[in-house]
Structure 1
Amino acid sequence: MPNRSNERLEQRLLKVISKEVRGKRAACLRGFLKTLSWLFSVIVQVRLLLYRHRIIRANTLGCQVISVGNVTVGGTGKTPIVETFARSLQQKGRKVAILSRGYKSRKTPLWEKLLKKEKQLPRVVSDGERLLLNSDLAGDEPYMLASNLPDVVVLVDKDRVKSGKYAIKHFGCDTLVLDDGFQYLKLQHRLDIVLVDYTNPFGYDRVLPRGLLREPMRNLKRAGFIFITKCPPEGAPELKAKLRELNQHAEISECRHSSKYLENLYTREQTGLDFLQGKKVAAVSGIAVPESFENGVRKLGAEIVHSAQYADHHRYTQQEIIETINQAVEAGAELIVTTEKDAVRFPLLDRCDLPVIFLRVEIEMLSGSDAFHDWIDRICFK
């Protein structure tokens, strides 16, 4: 079970970083990680300087390039933002391709790469007409995006220059959306959209590996649009003010993830959110912040009698799901609730003793909606 061992190690390390685990050994480890963070920060800043002074030149592909990304690792709720942005562009007449690196998708074995003389082509998750790969080959987010955006091309490749050229040549795309692209500097960006998680905006104030920051927060000045995600209904005025100090020109939108409906994983039947009212449920998730998902389930009126939490992007086995179902039944659960992202990783079962449903979630903008649509028009018509 190397996969589960790695997940447990990641979870343990996160507890050390967040100071949930204390003691001399944890303090020593944090001190060591702090040194590594300093080195990592220097490397990041040198790389940025090389691109800024054009010592390393970014590629241009003759089309609109928009990146959507984070300054922290972990779940900021990026996929619904990418979906909203790509759909808005497509509805305005743009031919859109989403370019993903396919994090945690199945990798091509090294021996196969060595045997193949020709250059590997990007994986086509969707050609803008039909879904061509499963979630194992595509990765969770690309598969979800392709499922929810049938008219948008979705490609997976670490080399986004290569996949961008492929999208333009083979599908006639004129707009490229880089999923998790804020740190991808090999392509020139027309607009950088950055997501900041309201629940942990500054990644414990440290760069990796001592904290969760991919780069120092001062680099947020590169962003042209900032979304504060997972906001409470009243918004986030204090955080918004802090972000304004870091970036004086970007539009800042407060938003939250809004549940729209429930869908049965196996029958595809859709029901209203009130279906959960008064139900005893088992919550199953393999996402970065499972607490936000479970809190959302409780707000819909359900009682969580069993919780199964796995690491982000966890690949479920049949045995794990069968065990979870058995535990849920013993706890008195009437059904299993999971996230849309987890649903694409659930294995097919010959028999399931409980209904498995997932929450369909979309972005609700609490502020900045007009600025968002202004940017869409600017990209499409200017």
Structure 2
Amino acid sequence: MSAPPAAAARYAGTRVPRVEDPRLLTGHGTFVDDVVRPGMLHAHFVRSPLPRARVLDIEASEALALRGVRAVFTARDLNPDVPDAPRPPLAEDEDEVRFVGDPVALIVADDRYIAEDAAEPVLVDYEALPPVVDYATAHESEELVHPGFPGNLVGEFGGRPAEELAEVFERAAHVARETIHQQTYAAVPMETRGLIAEWSRAEGEMTIWASTQTPHETRLFGSRLLGVDEHRIRVVMRDPGGGFGQKAVPQREDMCVLLAARKVPAALKWIEYRQENLMSAGQGRHEHGDARIAFDEDGNPLTTTFMDYLLPASTEVPTIEYGHVESPGPGEGGYKGVGEGGAIGAPPAVVNAVADALAPLGVKITRLPVSPAFTGSTGTRRACSPATGGPSPPRSRCAAAGSPSPPRVPPPPCRGTPEPSCRAR
């Protein structure tokens, strides 16, 4: 293998001093809630207490009568300004709320506390509807989270048709199956979501102070939403206070604040409460996958190889069918990567299922996981070798039970000349 680049040798495995810590640890960080603009107004959302209901009417006259309340925006005020979106910013009259915490109105007031107090007298007439509780059974429910999506299936993609593999599994002597579940994850950043939007009517420009992981996407999003040129949107990102993927994509509350900022005379600030964050911010994962591998009577994989799950090449990725089923919730968002969590957890679970299936055959899987040092030192992608010198055994005898297991770190080189059929098994 060639020597690593100088930059990699300099930083890999080396303690690198963090340059931002002294400023943050001494209280000199700047977060969105630290920003104050002249005459700034504050926003607070009225949210649904029901997981599913039809909005019949919203009465806000009592809230508007409170001193310091500047406006109460509902779907009639904001939604018509949206050019196109799968979900409108606010739940509309005769439309449905789809989870506990779904925003139905936006209150603007002189300070945050007045805005929060004004939420209580806003009267929303709901017609409760039966919710779809479990995504795993949502495809069987007659109730729809979103109209027009039978079985609550809103997206899917498939690989090789399952019927093409049916014969393989039918004639297989052994089939290993495993179901891998990923629970719901909440990012819970130290600083919740928040932004300040200030619209300059004379210049037709907007400045946004945002707690975001993607300031450039926030600018593009604002440009598309408001129908103005991108160069007329300026995004200021200070210290984001954590994100973990939750702040990578603007969400519906951000839409509301940007739209409402053009209708008020000063900058508009929204800072999310922790309870709102847990209810309404995007959550990660909440999924499961079913995996299976077919073997013949000698323990040889008929549908894949172990290496497919360890170091796959583009031509070796197993057949995958994916479906996204909706149930009440704010929607799935990133959490430390989108998809990696389920993908990384699946291989060891599948390999464990394979090991259980092969145990009655006297076959044992060794040298797992395959380390980068092992694959890099040998120059080939091998995951098993004969336990004694000489030519490699047939692949069904690789790492047979009773053979001594080599140490994992560092693994010894393969002895003899491994057969191509024995690699990665």
TM band (smaller chain): under 0.3
Structure of greater Rg:
2
TM-score normalised by structure 1 residue count: 0.27
TM-score normalised by structure 2 residue count: 0.25
